[in-house]
């Protein structure tokens, strides 16, 4: 048994995003039953990077094909956070973002 941040489960959302960006936005909106708080995106960025980096050594025993997939996923994820944004590009395109003042 363990206790952790339930938002960390979104660290693998890349698999949803690769299939459908609007669906990935819907997963987030469904979880929060609305737009997520801005703090969620800060943690999503951290958790996504940690998972992407940890996936590379995890893939080594599985062979080059899996290593390549994990490396490609890391490169895709890096593109989400261009210009040091906290909100991934796919959410900026398909989600709804309220200003911090709202």
Residue 101 pLDDT = 47
Question: pTM for this structure?
Answer: 0.84
- Sites in the chain below the pLDDT cut of 50: 99-102
Q: Is 63 exposed, middle or buried (0-12, 13-18, 19+ CB in 10 A)?
A: exposed
Domain locations along the chain: 16-94
Residue 102 pLDDT = 44
Condensed to tens digits (0 to 9), the pLDDT of residues 54-65 reads 999 999 999 999
The CA distances from residue 50 to 8, 11, 28, 44, 93, in Å, are 10, 8, 19, 10, 24
b/e per residue, 14-53, with b = 16+ CB within 10 A? bebbeeebeebbeebeeeeeebbeeebbebbbebbeebbe
Helices 38-59 and 64-80, packing angle to 10 deg: 160
Residue 98 pLDDT = 57
């Amino acid at each position: 048994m363990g206790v952790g941040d339930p938002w960390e489960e979104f660290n693998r959302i890349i698999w949803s995003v690769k299939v459908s960006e609007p669906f990935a936005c819907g997963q987030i909106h469904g979880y929060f039953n609305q737009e997520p708080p801005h703090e969620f995106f800060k943690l999503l960025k951290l958790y996504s990077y940690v998972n992407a980096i940890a996936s590379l050594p995890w893939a080594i025993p599985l062979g080059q094909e899996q290593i390549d997939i994990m490396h490609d996923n890391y490169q895709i994820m890096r593109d989400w956070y261009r210009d040091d944004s906290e909100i991934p590009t796919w959410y900026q395109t398909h989600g709804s973002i309220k200003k911090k003042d709202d």
